[in-house]
Amino acid sequence: MHDPLMTICDLHVAYGKKPILRGATFDVLPGECLTLLGANGSGKSTSLNAICGFVRPASGSISMDGAELAGLAPHEIFQHGVAQVSQKRDLFPDLTVADNLRLGAMRRGGKAAAQTLEQIYARFPRLAERRNQATRTLSGGEQQMVAIGRALMSGPRLLLLDEPSGGLSPEFCEEIAQLMDGLKSDGVTMLMVEQNLKLAFRAADRFIVLRDGLVVDGGDVKAMEGNHDAIIKNIYL
Amino acid sequence: MMPTQSQLRLRTVLFWMVPLALLAVPLLVNSYVQFIVNSVLIYALVTLGFNFVIGNLGQLAFANTAFFGIGAYASAIATTSLGLPWLATIPLAGVAGAIGGFLASGAALRGIRFYYLAIITLAFGELMRWLYVHAKSVTGGTDGLSLPRETVMGYSLTDDRVKFYVFLVVTVLLFKATLNLLRSHVGRSIMAVRENEVATASLGIPTSRVIVTGFIWSGFVVGCAGSLFALHTSYVFPESFGMLHLIISFAMVLVGGLGSVLGAVLGAAALTVLPEYLRSFPGMEELFFGLIVIAVLLVLPQGLASLLRRVSPIFVERFYRE
């Protein structure tokens, strides 16, 4: 068993007086794809936002290789190798695909960035074809590729994906799943929030279920093969 | 449509050719027109600095007049009280304006943005005006400060033609520096903050610091413009830095084109020359001025710079260096 890449311990997050996470505790292992499951309002996206620093935890710990990330500013957390692809994708619509991707490597620059850009184009040939197109002219799936590509430009040690299949056709969901397979085989660690259970079980190695801000279930996806109904019951009932 | 490589090269040539051609202006115009041209150069810098914050950085902020006043007073105080030659006070005024920019935007470090930042910067401008009036021993109070007469290499700095050459050099240098800044990774961060601050933060960019940097540069440019203004009018007093000046410089930004460096020149030129022309219609000046500004913004919501962009892609401003 590997040492965890990230350990989240007794994490409490509240929006105003409303508590969202009430002591969530889980690990992310190196090289795995872990998916967070749960009903709306269970604290899945809040967990990602707290890890990225967009939401300040009230208490608890988020540690990565011994460094405490809780309470740091988003740009400081990014420097520890955590990159997020948000649910809204947060692209720069008037900039070209190439410019959006380069922005992902703003903190690196130079030859390394140019090399990574070529790797991204190799991974997403469709983006290479559209490199000089403004991102607002791309389809939803292509925009998702740009968002993931931009996050990869920073060479993250942990990639956070907030509903990567959101608003995409089943064909594109399959493409995203294949992309995630490729990332896993390249050793990229991923923490994903996904409502599309088919994609979640197709792409993830492990899952955890959040309910009312607490981890109530979890396990190995392969071990649960064919028994997804039990997980669904645990999420929604 | 994006400019081609040859069009980009032509643009670079034009950037230097236009100021070179302008060197002939003092030989061709009378002293009244020369005074107006000098005003255009100063307001081009004021608009450039203001546009940097509201157009490029995307923050609603109204400390521009404060930076202008700080620069003008810094120059006036340095020449009258410290006895420095006026030329040496230009960078000093710029630094004073930059410090003003830092102070006005300090709230951004605590997450204050947009409307709230606008009110803070507006209050900062009024606070500075209060200071000009009440710090009488330094600023001369409501009487203001008169700049001493000076010469540079035997040429009198009271001559508008001599002033023009100095103003032109300062203006070209600050425009070039601003263009270079916008094309650097700092400039890209600035525009990324404007487009989407959350996304920018998620790319590891310290957005609050970027905002403060934008204000500091704006303060520097407008502070230098204040120094030029002090020499231009030879007299600095608080009323020059009030709300009217703020509104006119805001109109210059919008008429020229939000976020456009070229627009800063066009907006400043249009709204400096227009009131002079409208003097031929006594009593109707304000009415015509207002109607013309409204008409321009209705027909060209992206400002005069957008008109040139339609003519040729050479005028498309894309602040990204391949």
> How many Cβ pairs closer than 8 A exist between chain A and B?
57
Query: Quick check: is B24 in a domain?
Result: no
Amino acid at position A30, single letter? P
Express each pLDDT in B97-115 by its tens digit. 999 999 998 887 887 788 8
- Residue A107: band (very low, low, confident or very high) from pLDDT cuts 50, 70, 90: low
Q: List the one residue out of B186, B206, B112, B108 whose CA is nearest residue A78.
A: B206
The pLDDT value recorded for residue A88 is 83
Query: Quick check: is B160 in a domain?
Result: yes
Q: Is A92 at the interface with chain B, CB within 8 A?
A: yes
Query: Quick check: is B320 in a domain?
Result: no
Q: Between these two residues, B321 and A121, which has the higher pLDDT value?
A: A121
Q: How far apart are CA A197 and CA A231, in angstroms?
A: 10
- CB atoms B199 and A79 under 8 Å: no
Q: How far is B321 from chain A (nearest CA, A)?
A: 10
Task: Please check the confidence at residue A189 and state whether its pLDDT lies above 60.
Answer: yes
Q: How far apart are CA B93 and CA B89, in angstroms?
A: 6
- Residue B10: band (very low, low, confident or very high) from pLDDT cuts 50, 70, 90: confident
Q: How far is A207 from chain B (nearest CA, A)?
A: 25
The pLDDT value recorded for residue A7 is 95
- CB atoms A99 and B195 under 8 Å: no
Query: Quick check: is B215 in a domain?
Result: yes
Q: How many domains does chain B have?
A: 1
Query: Quick check: is B91 in a domain?
Result: yes
Q: List the one residue out of B216, B214, B263 whose CA is nearest residue B58.
A: B214
- Best A49, A90, A161 member to test B by mutation, with max B CBs in 10 Å, is A90
Query: Which residue reads 């115009």 in tokens?
Result: B29
* CB neighbour list of residue A118: distance below 8 Å, 6 or more residues apart: none
- CB atoms B199 and A74 under 8 Å: no
Q: How far is CA B285 from the centre of its chain?
A: 24
Q: Is A74 at the interface with chain B, CB within 8 A?
A: yes
- CB atoms B204 and A75 under 8 Å: yes
Q: List the one residue out of B290, B300, B171 whose CA is nearest residue B229.
A: B171
Those residues of chain B whose CB sits closer than 8 Å to some CB in chain A are 2, 185, 188-189, 192, 195-196, 198-199, 201-207, 320
> Residue B132 belongs to a domain with what CATH number?
1.10.3470
What is the domain range of residue B306?
Answer: 5-16+31-315
- CB atoms A52 and B205 under 8 Å: no
* CB neighbour list of residue A151: distance below 8 Å, 6 or more residues apart: A83, A84, A85, A104, A159
Q: Of how many residues is chain B composed?
A: 322
Query: Quick check: is B84 in a domain?
Result: yes
Q: How far is B133 from chain A (nearest CA, A)?
A: 41
Q: Which residues of chain A lie closer than 8 angstroms to B204, CB-CB?
A: 74-75, 78-79, 106-107, 154
Backbone angles phi, psi at B105, to 5 degrees: -100, 0
- CB atoms A106 and B203 under 8 Å: yes
- Residue B14: band (very low, low, confident or very high) from pLDDT cuts 50, 70, 90: confident
Report, as an integer, the average pLDDT of A54-62: 93
The pLDDT value recorded for residue B321 is 45
Report, as an integer, the average pLDDT of A38-64: 92
Task: Please check the confidence at residue B322 and state whether its pLDDT lies above 50.
Answer: no
- CB atoms B205 and A107 under 8 Å: yes
The pLDDT value recorded for residue B34 is 96
Backbone angles phi, psi at A36, to 5 degrees: -95, 125
Q: What is the DSSP letter of B53?
A: I
Report, as an integer, the average pLDDT of B18-27: 92
Q: Between these two residues, A222 and A78, which has the higher pLDDT value?
A: A78
**Side-chain-facing half-sphere of B134: CA atoms under 13 Å:** 6
Q: List the one residue out of A25, A40, A32, A41 whose CA is nearest residue A5.
A: A32
Q: Between these two residues, B93 and A155, which has the higher pLDDT value?
A: B93
Q: Residue B202: which of A74, A93, A132 has the nearest Cβ? A: A74
The pLDDT value recorded for residue B130 is 93
Q: Which residues of chain B lie closer than 8 angstroms to A74, CB-CB?
A: 201-202, 204
Q: Residue B204: which of A92, A93, A106 has the nearest Cβ? A: A106
Express each pLDDT in B171-217 by its tens digit. 999 999 999 999 888 888 898 899 888 888 888 889 999 999 999 99
Q: Pairing state of beta strands A67-68 and A214-220?
A: unpaired
Q: List the one residue out of B241, B240, B236, B245 whose CA is nearest residue B143.
A: B236
Amino acid at position A22, single letter? R
Q: Residue A73: which of B189, B198, B206 has the nearest Cβ? A: B206
Q: How far is A195 from chain B (nearest CA, A)?
A: 22
Q: How far apart are CA B308 and CA B242, in angstroms?
A: 32
Mean pLDDT of all residues belonging to chain A:
87
The pLDDT value recorded for residue B319 is 60
ipTM here: 0.77
Tokens coding B322: 């391949």
Tokens coding A43: 């604290």
Tokens coding B250: 């805001």
Query: Quick check: is B22 in a domain?
Result: no
SS3 B211: helix
Task: Please check the confidence at residue B126 and state whether its pLDDT lies above 60.
Answer: yes
Full DSSP string of chain A = -PPPSEEEEEEEEEETTEEEEEEEEEEE-TT-EEEEE--TTSSHHHHHHHHHTSS--SEEEEEETTEE-TT--HHHHHHTTEEEE-TT----TTSBHHHHHHHTTTTT-HHHHHHHHHHHHHH-HHHHHTTTSBGGGS-HHHHHHHHHHHHHHT--SEEEEE-TTTT--HHHHHHHHHHHHHHHHTT-EEEEE-S-HHHHHHH-SEEEEEETTEEEEEEETGGGTT-HHHHHHHHH-
Q: Which residues of chain A lie closer than 8 angstroms to B188, CB-CB?
A: 103, 106
Q: Is A107 at the interface with chain B, CB within 8 A?
A: yes
Cβ neighbours, 10 Å, residue B259: 23
Query: Quick check: is B21 in a domain?
Result: no
- Residue A168: band (very low, low, confident or very high) from pLDDT cuts 50, 70, 90: confident
Nearest CA in chain A to B204: A75
Q: Beta strands of chain B (E only): which ranges?
A: 145-146, 151-152, 155-156, 235-236
- Residue B41: band (very low, low, confident or very high) from pLDDT cuts 50, 70, 90: very high
